[in-house]
Structure 1
Amino acid sequence: MPHSPRSIGRALAGCVAIALVAGACSTAEPTAPVTTTGVGAGSSTGSGVGPGTDAGTQPARTTTAPPSSGTSTPSTSRRTPTAPARTPTTAATGPVTLLSGLDIAWSVAVLPDGSALVSERNTGRIHHVPKPGSGGKPSVVGRLPITRTEGEGGLLGLAVPEDFDADPVFYAYYSTDSDNRIAAVPWRDGTIGEPVVIFSGIPRGQYHNGGRIAFGPDGFLYVGTGEAGDTSLSQNLGSLGGKILRITPDGDPAPGNPFGGSPIWSYGHRNVQGLAWDSRKRLWASEFGQNTFDELNLIEAGKNYGWPEVEGRAGNPDFVDPVAQWPTSEMSPSGIAVGPDGAVYMAALRGQSVWRVPVKADGTAGTPTRHLQGTYGRVRDIHFVGDRVWITTSNNDGADRLISLPLSAVGVG
């Protein structure tokens, strides 16, 4: 186990800053593997052209319910990346582009000072976006040592712990040539330091790499993983694939986990790309289905969420049914967030929307409503920041954006 990251922020205070990458990246998925190594770059996500998957069509399978109708065509245009947009210096009431020209912005992590870090899946670059209204300009602050191949791997989730101000270290989930892993990354004077790997061995594949990480109200790091295209991993408690994990900031299994010394918190997942807690400290997770249903799940320790035995609601007491489900044509969910009104908001890739799901005290859901349908194309991540909502696009056209919107745009109020 590598040395503790809770001390690396102080220990690496004088480390050499990461060299920034000035070259532009390809705006299309490579037809042959492309390896990016060394510290200091970001990445983005794939085209997600198949049902129930982020990128690529998956084989059909028998499910417990008939597929629902509905289609949605993702953007296939390719444009030359543009320069990052300047952070606005005045208050805005309408949509504002905070960052542009991205090769798939995958995750947004808001820092305590109101600025944010944005991961770029296909390049490994991390962008810093100053607090809106500060007059600052976005910049690339470093690059992580990803190995990028065709598909969904690369630089994925970012997470900021609650004690960031005291020990400025954030966390990143990314792909190598052999696995997916998590590193603690020091933040010093507007750049990133040398990442320290705290957790490795998460299965990686062309598809279904999971990638969402988030700190829970208990201070532990939760990790959404995918089954990397091997459905047998989801039900295998000896594998990290197809799970939600719960670990300490040092990468150890968190105390109180349901399977002894295992980092596994829940299992039977296909591809988890969204994690969020509500005011009752309940964990909600988005789940990519295959050909029939995408899901919103209420996560409980030690429970089995059914994949690949079931997809969507099955009424089988051996598995936990989703709280809400959608045809894959309407959803393909990635990032989620709990809004100021207590509803769960889900970013939809194939569905090219934001879905608002009212959730009740008993853990059931009200009627979901759809917002921004087709307005910005595929939506990857969503965060509520002050009196605004931030979303990232994932159109894989070299012109993806981080956009700030009024809360009313997604149904708040």
Structure 2
Amino acid sequence: MKRIGLWSLVCLLALVGCSPSTDGGGRSGEAEEGEKTPSAEADLEVVADSLDIPWSVVETDDSLLVSEREGAIVEVPKNGQDPVRKGVKLQHEVLHQGEGGFLGLEPAPDFEESRAVFAYHTYRSDGEIYNRVVRLEEADDAWEESDVLIEKIPGAGIHNGGRIKIGPDEKLYITTGDANIEEIAQDRENLGGKILRMELDGSIPTDNPISDSLVYSYGHRNPQGLAWDEGGQLYSSEHGPTAHDEINRIEPGKNYGWPEIVGDEEKEGMETPLYHSGTDTWAPSGLAYAAQKLWVAGLRGQQMRSFSPDGEQTELKLEGEGRLRDIIPASDGSFYILTNNTDGRGTPQDADDRLLNWPGSKGK
């Protein structure tokens, strides 16, 4: 196990947006107003630093857990003690190549007793690249694989999806990418380019929309965010082809169009997005819901945005910290945000990557 540095109570200045965005609102993707320069200040606390290509952050009662793409979990205690990094012991080694690696993380419902998490990671088998979902349990010096939920999800150097979340229905939801083979997103027999839904033991729920299938929705390119509103409605964030990034309202069994349609294009039997970025790029990854808004961490866009669930307004909320990989609402109404500047596509600064706490007017 390895301890890593902690900056406590370090405040930085950031910017908060206050007007509708030009990046596309509603189904049309057209601007209602020009984007205004962010005008308010927000204090950012650096909760942990020197993270190694972090991908996912989750909150437990006493700590925050961060996945690192090379194959580790960093536990950040809420009491201010130093974070602790432990590697993972798996039946198949983590393949950290391109966008692949040790990605999504989700605590088991009984985490405080079992010290168990679910994890999504890339691996190689018989010369092919795949992704799998496993259950890990904490041991003295590592997180050890205790069960396999699913294997041989299509993988590649890009478009691996990777977000996993337990929904309000106590089912495990999993985003998968098209593994750079566009046509598999439309193949309901293929696990790539989908949002999957399973029981916590990996079995198929009896009420899934497609009989005897884990597929919950399909026609996705590279979805990397999942969030539910207070009524149980599921939303996802998805990387588009250079532009036309998407925020989708997910309905069971629906086809979200990739690669047949993008943006405002329409085709019978296919859904258009709640929002898309038009010719701009957000590169949306982590997605959260709080204070009746959707909140998105942007990679290439290097900003955090909020979106109204009615499809009418998006606002710039935070920028200036580089690439942002994940965001979750904290139990006190603030947000935890992961930077992602050490992934080979950013410009890392001293102490990157960092886990930040953003008060965000307590999500208002």
User: Could you state the TM-score of these two structures normalised by the residue count of structure 2?
Assistant: 0.81
With 163-172 and 244-253 compared, the bigger mean Cα shift is at 163-172
Q: CA deviation at 1:311?
A: 1.1
Which one-letter code corresponds to 1:119 in the other structure? S
Which one-letter code corresponds to 1:354 in the other structure? M
**Contact 1:67-1:293 at 8 Å conserved across structures:** no
Does residue 380 (structure 1) correspond to residue 325 (structure 2)? The answer is yes
1:158-197 to structure 2, matched below 5 A, reads 158-177=105-124, 178-187=129-138, 192-197=143-148
1:204-283 to structure 2, matched below 5 A, reads 204-283=155-234
**Contact 2:208-2:215 at 8 Å conserved across structures:** yes
**Contact 1:292-1:312 at 8 Å conserved across structures:** no
Which one-letter code corresponds to 1:326 in the other structure? S
Q: 1:101 aligned to 40, 43, 50, which one?
A: 50
Does residue 354 (structure 1) correspond to residue 304 (structure 2)? The answer is yes
Aligned to 2:63: 115
C-alpha separation in 1, matches of 2:29 and 2:3: 49
Aligned to 2:249: 298
Residues 67, 281 of structure 1: alpha-carbon distance in 2 compared, 3 angstrom cutoff: closer
Aligned positions, number: 317
C-alpha separation in 2, matches of 1:378 and 1:247: 31
**Contact 1:296-1:322 at 8 Å conserved across structures:** yes
C-alpha separation in 1, matches of 2:146 and 2:114: 14
Which one-letter code corresponds to 1:372 in the other structure? L
Q: Deviations over 1:342-368 (max 9, x none)?
A: 100011111100110011xxxx32210
Does residue 400 (structure 1) correspond to residue 349 (structure 2)? The answer is no
**Contact 1:21-1:143 at 8 Å conserved across structures:** no
**Contact 1:328-1:350 at 8 Å conserved across structures:** no
Which one-letter code corresponds to 1:356 in the other structure? S
Aligned to 2:24: none
C-alpha separation in 2, matches of 1:150 and 1:221: 26
C-alpha separation in 1, matches of 2:211 and 2:157: 31
**Contact 1:106-1:119 at 8 Å conserved across structures:** yes
**Contact 2:2-2:86 at 8 Å conserved across structures:** no
Q: Deviations over 1:56-96 (max 9, x none)?
A: xxxxxxxxx9999xxxxxxxxxxxxxxxxxxxxxxxx9311
Aligned to 1:345: 295
Q: 1:366 aligned to 312, 318, 333, which one?
A: 312
Does residue 135 (structure 1) correspond to residue 80 (structure 2)? The answer is yes
C-alpha separation in 1, matches of 2:267 and 2:189: 23
Residues 191, 147 of structure 1: alpha-carbon distance in 2 compared, 3 angstrom cutoff: closer
Q: 2:282 aligned to 323, 331, 337, which one?
A: 331
User: Could you state the TM-score of these two structures normalised by the residue count of structure 1?
Assistant: 0.72
Aligned to 1:44: none
Which one-letter code corresponds to 1:129 in the other structure? V
C-alpha separation in 2, matches of 1:255 and 1:190: 38
Q: CA deviation at 1:254?
A: 1.9
Q: Secondary structure at the match of 2:97?
A: coil
C-alpha separation in 1, matches of 2:227 and 2:29: 29
- Aligned Cα RMSD in Å? 2.4
Q: Deviations over 1:21-47 (max 9, x none)?
A: 699xxxxxxxxxxxxxxxxxxxxxxxx
C-alpha separation in 2, matches of 1:135 and 1:243: 39
Unaligned ranges ≥5, structure 2: 5-27, 32-41, 343-347
Does residue 153 (structure 1) correspond to residue 104 (structure 2)? The answer is no
**Contact 2:96-2:102 at 8 Å conserved across structures:** no
Unaligned ranges ≥5, structure 1: 1-19, 24-64, 69-92
Of all paired residues, the percent bearing the same amino acid is: 38
Aligned to 2:71: 124
**Contact 1:103-1:120 at 8 Å conserved across structures:** yes
C-alpha separation in 2, matches of 1:193 and 1:206: 25
**Contact 1:67-1:291 at 8 Å conserved across structures:** no
Aligned to 1:38: none
